[in-house]
Amino acid sequence: MSDHPSSQSSGYDRRSFMAGAAGSALVPLTARATVHEARAAVAQDPALPVDVTLRVNGQEKRLSLDARTTVLDALREHLKLTGSKKGCDHGQCGACTVLIGDRRVVSCLTLALAAEGQEITTIEGLATDDRLHPMQQAFIDNDAFQCGYCTPGQIMSAIACVKEGHAGTDADIREYMSGNICRCAAYPNIVAAVKQAAPEIMKG
Amino acid sequence: MTAAAPEPKANMGKPVPRYDAAAKVTGRATYGSDMPLDNPAYAFLVTSAIAKGRINSFDLDDAKRVRGVIDIVTHENAPNLNESKLFSNGGYAGTTIQPLKSTDIAHDGQIIAVVIAESYEAAREAANRVKVSYTAATPSASFDSPGTTEAAAKGQNAQFKEDPKVGDFAKAFDEAEVKVDASYETPTQHHNPMELFSTSCAWMGDTLVIYEPSQYVHGLKNGVAEQLGIDADKVRVVNPYVGGGFGSRGSTTPRTAVIAGIARRLNRPIKLVPTRDQGFTIATYRAETRHEVKLGASRDGKLVALRHEGAEVSSRADPYCVGGTKTTTRLYACPNVDSLVSIVRADRNTPGFMRSPPEVPYLFALESAMDELAVKLNMDPIELRRINDTTNEPIGGKPYTSRSLMACFDEAAKAFGWAQRSAAPKSMSDGDWLIGYGCAATCYPTQMAPSAARVRLQRDGRTRVEIAGHEIGTGAYTILAQTAAERLGVPLEKVAVFIGDSDLPPGPVAGGSNSTASTCSAVMMVCDQVRQRLFKALMPNESLTDKAKETVGMGQTPSTQAAKGDRPIDLEKAFDALGVGVVEEYGEWKPEGAPQDSFKAMHSGHPRLVGGAAMKDKIAYAFGAEFVEVRINRFTHEIRAPRLVGAFAAGRIMNPRTARSQLMGGLIWGMSSALLEATEIDARTARYVNDNFADYLIPVNADVPGVEVILLSEQDDHINPAGAKGLGELANVGTNAAICNAIYHATGQRIRKLPVRLENIEV
């Protein structure tokens, strides 16, 4: 056994990263004053809780969070909205996709603080009074999932894909749905589902 | 009817939508890490940065200073756990390398510390602040690395019983008129199910509840109990939905007992959600393999000699192997066959099952070699398969219970347009794109395992089916509901199915594609018990079994019920006669040829799979044929696979919708295996370098323009009461060879090493 000790330590300094992030334009202008007040303290210790108000599926949610909490972890661990899934935590798989405003966003790469004041829509916010959203129904009709783990992200992404005007052709749908990995590989059925739901979504 | 719901042919169930569809599209389906916990602490793993050596010391000061850290567990203060035996050696574990036991490091990414904190963020930060001093040794990474050892699989792996052989291979090969002698290689692959390898453990007094994605809740329950040294009935595993398995969750991994032990000590629920990259080293993988295939044939294409030698990588600790020669030596008629499988031990974690474990690497080799033989014979590759098709396997002469291989070839060839292929390599193109057509056979053993079930019927027809099966995306809920509805003659919407909970009657591991055949056979049997009780109440003086068949359709396959003028039981009358409101039956079913200890083993979490080539007087496989068009850019060498066409026959198709989806996903898996997937290992450090979704290539939607699945009608009365052959692992087998065969057709270049990337093309 050769004898050359090596060591392992933290890859990067989250404190300095967060100090930068919290002070940057990532925090929207509408952010509440507490965020700004917390900024100095957070630079000292990011684990100190910060008050955040998130608008999720039309409801205001007041939370006290570690400043580094992502939208995904805020939804899952603090609001018990577990429909959005963690598949990589790196923005590589799309399982955590939610809408912020009209934009599809990987919620694992979005800090909760940065989403304050904006409308967040999750998979739980689509169906109304037991009526499924057309995209949800289309996923059922076309068997556009198997294990179902990527499905909430696929559906949120698919709705945005249609609204962006990227559902005109099969090739377009395939291209603009390629940010969402489905390991079961339901891809052809996902394309069929997006095609089915697109006209109804565009209508209103 | 959408393309997703094909019109059923003979011996197929209805393509009803999934039972769990609404839950899955609304986010209501709860996976392991979705389960609510009361005030959980969060765990984050620290994994080894070397593949071999030992830990000198930890410096935890910086980590402990992170606000919210509760504890940091290393080998110095880890809960004491019992050893776990390998599943193939009568145990439950996918590896016997137990972390946190000593300073020893046996593989890259081994768990060396667990940080427990009040929040996920704090646990993660502290884990990154754990400093480790190692003494590193030089590891052996893989084939060709100095320090590996190699030995025959037979004798060291209890599940690998024989190297099949028959006749005199050496003489026959020597004298053969046409020969192929070629070597093939397949890479390391990781399952990468979408759901991470999470574990939540909560104690209530001396009872442990585990929320974890598992393909075998009874195995996990018993395995963790054994490691903790507690009664198995004190452990409950709950996972109503599993975010993909592909074999990665069939045996226990070390993480579960570790988290359970820490939670017990802390007296608080603990939630662990490991990262994607940690999933590459804390669970199993498909090991890299090497093959040498020798085929000898007469000029008219008849095989006279076949030899398949395979080598597979495993860990130092465990003799894991897949041994696909049991299939490749039996697929075609050939009087002289020889084979050998060996295991190469390296400084790696122990590999494990990954979707079609033996068939993917071994059929890649055989079906590539068959294509090479067809080229040498100047013969159409489909015709070569037809000439060597057989009703009996050549090793023991046992008959296939049914075999629709050539029917699949013919159907798929027609749908694909094989007749338009010009046989010469490099003879088809479209502008800058060289076009190649290729095909290959696919197959998968038909396996069954003992299974229990409980069925409760109410007088209003509401039915409850309970079985500790698993919904890993296969459609388990759906086909169990269909089976009960058909068998009891109640409307499908009145059936409720409960699976994914070890408190339910034990079902088999969701592996080896045995679940459908096993669980549906069990549910059919228990539904018949229910019917018999009702029937007895209605007609107390009639003899049960025979009369029942005529009167209420018991024992008949659903497809023949209508023809025989079956009529439903009058539930109201039967319940009145019985004088009860509910009839509930429990039963244990085992397949023909199951070992004596089957039910005992079933209750203690040991699967007893039977079937495939291992049956006494017959052999059972599902078959298919797969066709691929590849396009290769003659300048950039970009490879595309615009069309995948597969035709499959697998006995009774319980639901053409879920079957088609699984086969479609399988074809895409096969394409991925051929063109994209490989875990790259740094040969110097024995560490994985592409352990994330950006670098470990998995198909996205744009990679998959056209997939066509054809389901053939097939009836097989010799396999199991459900008449079903597992098909979840059928479609991703032949694709590897089909794609390489198509690449040969496009370019004239034979590629024998997977995956094929543009840098491997030399046109």
Q: Where are the domains of chain A?
A: 14-124, 134-203
pLDDT band at A39 (very low <50, low <70, confident <90, very high): low
Is it true that domain B449-606 has CATH number 3.30.365.10? Answer: yes
Stretch B603-631: mean pLDDT: 97
The answer to whether the CB atoms of B692 and A139 lie below 8 A apart is no
Question: Is the confidence at residue B61, as pLDDT, over 60?
Answer: yes
CA dist B229 → B211, B221, B346, B497, B605 (Å): 19, 12, 31, 32, 16
From the list B36, B49, B668, the residue facing A8 with the nearest CB is: B49
Asked if B27 has any chain A CB less than 8 Å from its own CB, the reply is yes
In degrees rounded to 5, what are phi and psi of residue B251? -115, 165
**Among all residues of chain B, which has the CA nearest to that of A155?**
B25
Name the residue among B669, B693, B701 with its Cβ closest to that of A92. B693
Structure tokens at B234: 């004190």
Q: How much is the pLDDT for B543?
A: 56
Q: Between chains, do A9 and B692 touch, taking CB under 8 Å as contact?
A: no
pLDDT band at B560 (very low <50, low <70, confident <90, very high): very low
- CA dist B26 and B101 (Å) reads 43
Q: Are B273 and A77 in contact (CB under 8 A)?
A: no
Residue B50 touches partner A, C-beta closer than 8 Å: yes
Whether A184 contacts chain B with CB within 8 A: yes
Q: Does A45 touch chain B (CB under 8 A)?
A: yes
Q: For residue B189, what is the DSSP state?
A: B
Nearest CA in chain A to B194: A87
What percent of chain A lies above the pLDDT cut of 90? 75
pLDDT band of A42, cuts 50, 70, 90: low
H/E run at residue B71: strand B69-73
Closest CB to B68: pick one of A14, A47, A147.
A47
Please give the mean pLDDT across all residues of chain B: 95
Asked whether residue B422 carries a pLDDT value surpassing 60, the answer given is yes
| Number of neighbouring beta carbons within 10 Å of residue B144 | 10
Task: Report how far residue B99's alpha carbon sits from residue B46's, in angstroms, rounded to the nearest whole number.
Answer: 11
B118 is catalytic: no
Question: What is this model's ipTM?
Answer: 0.96
Helix (H) or strand (E) run with residue B236 in it: strand B235-238
CA proximity to B19, closest of B498, B454, B357: B498
The whole-number average pLDDT for the span B536-560 is 53
CB contact under 8 A, A187 and B668: yes
Paired with B294 in beta bridges are B181, B307
Of A45, A95, A151, the CB nearest to B25: A151
When CB atoms are compared, the residue of A68, A132, A149 closest to B25 is A132
What's the angle, vertex CA B657, arms to CA B652 and CA B662, rounded to 5? 85
| Contact partners, residue B427, CB within 8 Å, separation at least 6 | none
C-alpha to C-alpha distance for A139 and A177, rounded to whole angstroms: 14
CB contact under 8 Å between B20 and A77, yes or no, is no
A77: closest CA among A116, A100, A46, A108?
Answer: A108
Provide the β-strand partners of residue B304: none
Interface residue B573 vs chain A (CB under 8 A): no
What value does the mean pLDDT take over residues B397-426? 98
| A143 closest CB neighbour out of B18, B135, B242 | B18
Question: What share of chain B in percent tops pLDDT 70?
Answer: 96
Question: Nearest chain A Cα to B693, which residue?
Answer: A92
The model's pLDDT over B159-171, given as tens digits with 9 standing for 90+, comes to 999 999 999 999 9
Among A113, A114, A140, A135, which Cα is nearest to A125's? A135
Report whether pLDDT(A27) > 60.
Answer: no
**Fold classified for A134-203:** DNA polymerase; domain 1 (1.10.150)
Buried b (16+ CB within 10 A) or exposed e, B350-368: bbbbbbbbbbbbbbbbbbb
Does the CB of A204 have a partner CB in chain B at under 8 Å? Answer: no
Q: Cβ separation of B276 and A88 shorter than 8 Å?
A: yes
Nearest CA in chain B to A196: B2
Rounded to an integer, what distance in angstroms lies between the CA atom of residue B643 and that of residue B655?
Answer: 24
Q: Which residues of A touch B125 (CB under 8 A)?
A: 10, 14, 46-47, 68
Mean pLDDT for B430-436 is 98
Q: Which of residues 15-44 of A touch B (CB under 8 A)?
A: none
Distance between terminal CA atoms of chain B? Answer: 44
Would you say residue B299 has pLDDT above 90?
A: yes
Upper half-sphere CA count for residue B66 (Cβ side, 13 Å): 31
Q: Please, are residues A184 and B244 in contact by the beta-carbon 8 Å criterion? A: yes
Q: Is the pLDDT of residue B544 over 80?
A: no
Residue B128 has pLDDT above 70, yes or no: yes
Residue spans of alpha helices (H) in chain A:
14-23, 33-44, 71-73, 134-141, 151-163, 170-176, 187-203
Residues of chain B contacting A48 with CB distance shorter than 8 Å = 67
Question: How many beta-carbon contacts under 8 Å exist across A and B?
Answer: 248
Q: Residue B563 — pLDDT band, cuts 50, 70, 90? A: very low
Cβ neighbours of residue A109 under 8 Å, at least 6 residues apart?
A70, A90, A91
Nearest to B27 among A6, A124, A179 (CB): A124
Fold matches, B1-28+400-446+620-763 and B449-606: yes
Average pLDDT of the residues in A172-200: 98
Is the per-residue pLDDT at B361 higher than 70?
A: yes
Contact B247, B359 (CB under 8 A): no
- The model's confidence at residue A21, banded by pLDDT at 50, 70 and 90, is very low
For domain A14-124, give the fold: Ubiquitin-like (UB roll) (3.10.20)
Q: What is the pLDDT of residue A204?
A: 76
Token representation of residue B565: 């003028």
Mean pLDDT, chain A, rounded, equals 86
Q: Is 60 exceeded by the pLDDT of residue A138?
A: yes
Distance of CA B172 to the CA centre of its chain: 36
Of B118, B122, B102, B121, give the one whose Cα is nearest residue B110: B102
* Residue in this structure with the two tokens 């629920």, named with its chain if needed: B269
**Which chain A residues touch B33 with a CB distance below 8 Å?**
76, 82, 86
Q: B28: distance to nearest CA of chain A, Å?
A: 6
Chain-chain contact of A148 with B243 (C-beta, under 8 angstroms): yes
Among B74, B194, B273, B703, the residue to mutate for chain A (most A Cβ within 10 A): B194
Of B81-85, B153-157, B161-165, B571-575, minimum mean pLDDT range: B571-575
pLDDT band at A65 (very low <50, low <70, confident <90, very high): very high
Triad A116, A120, A124: Cα angle to 5°? 140
CB contact under 8 A, A1 and B17: no
Nearest chain A residue to B22 by CA distance is A140
Contact A195, A167 (CB under 8 A): yes
Residue B14 has pLDDT above 60, yes or no: yes
Distance CA B649, CA B404 (A): 6
pLDDT of B557 > 60? The answer is no
- What distance in Å separates residue B614's CA from the closest CA in chain A? 29
Give, in words, the CATH class of B32-139+199-281: alpha beta
By three-state DSSP, how is residue B128 classified? Answer: helix
Cβ–Cβ < 8 Å for B731, B646: yes
What per-residue confidence (pLDDT) applies to A13? 39
Per-window interface: B 104-133 vs A, CB < 8 A: 119-122, 125, 128-133
Greater model confidence, A20 or A48: A48
Give the pLDDT band of residue B552 (cuts 50, 70, 90): very low
Contacts of A155 in chain B (CB under 8 A): 25
Residue A174, pLDDT above cutoff 90: yes
Distances (CA, A) of B669 to B114, B183, B189, B537, B676: 34, 23, 11, 51, 10
Is A142 in CB contact (< 8 Å) with chain B?
A: yes
Cα distances (Å, whole numbers) of residue B149 to A26, B206, B458: 55, 45, 62
- Residue-wise pLDDT for B677-701, tens only, equals 999 999 999 999 999 999 999 999 9
A12 CA to chain B: closest CA distance, Å? 9
DSSP string for residues in B596-664: TTHHHHHHTT----EEGGGSSS-B-EEEEEEEEEEEEETTT--EEEEEEEEEEE-BSBS-HHHHHHHHH
In A79-118, the residues whose Cβ lies within 8 Å of chain B are 80-90, 92-93, 95
Domain residue ranges of chain B, discontinuous segments joined by +: 1-28+400-446+620-763, 32-139+199-281, 449-606
Q: Select the residue of B24, B68, B707 nearest A148 (Cβ to Cβ).
A: B24
pLDDT interval class at A46 (50, 70, 90): confident
d(CA B437, CA B434): 10
Predicted confidence at residue A26, as pLDDT, reads: 43
Beta strands in B349-445 (DSSP E): 429-430, 433-445
Q: What is the pLDDT of residue A35?
A: 56
- Asked whether the beta carbons of residue B664 and residue A45 sit closer than 8 angstroms, the reply is no
Of B359, B466, B629, B729, which one is the catalytic site residue? Answer: B729
Band (pLDDT 50/70/90 cuts) for residue B35 is very high
Q: Are B84 and B226 in contact (CB under 8 A)?
A: yes
- Picking from A146, A156, A157, A178 by the largest number of B CB atoms within 10 A of its own CB, the best residue to mutate is A146
CATH 3.30.365.10 fits B1-28+400-446+620-763, yes or no: yes
- What is residue B314's predicted lDDT score, i.e. its pLDDT? 98
* Mutation choice for A interface testing from B135, B698, B701, B735 by most A CBs within 10 A: B701
Beta-carbon contacts of B744 under 8 Å, excluding residues fewer than 6 positions away, are: B371, B375, B425, B436, B438, B750, B751
Q: Is the pTM of this model over 0.90?
A: yes
Q: Which residue of A has its CA nearest to B275?
A: A88
* Residue A38 pLDDT class (50, 70, 90 cuts): low
In this predicted structure, what is the pLDDT of residue B153?
98
For residue A1, pLDDT over 70 is answered with no
* pLDDT band with cut points at 50, 70 and 90 for residue B540: confident
Q: Which residue of B has its CA nearest to A143?
A: B4
> Is B159 in CB contact (< 8 Å) with chain A?
no
The answer, for B477 touching chain A at a CB cutoff of 8 Å, is no
CA distance B78 to B254: 13
pLDDT (0 to 100) of residue A44 = 72
CA distance B478 to chain A (A): 12
* Placement of tokens 């392991």 in the chain: B32
Q: What confidence tens digit (pLDDT) does each residue in B179-209 have?
A: 999 999 999 999 999 999 999 999 999 999 9
What's the pLDDT score for residue B446? Answer: 98
Any idea which residue has 């408190």 for tokens? B503
* Chain B nearest-CA residue for A142: B4
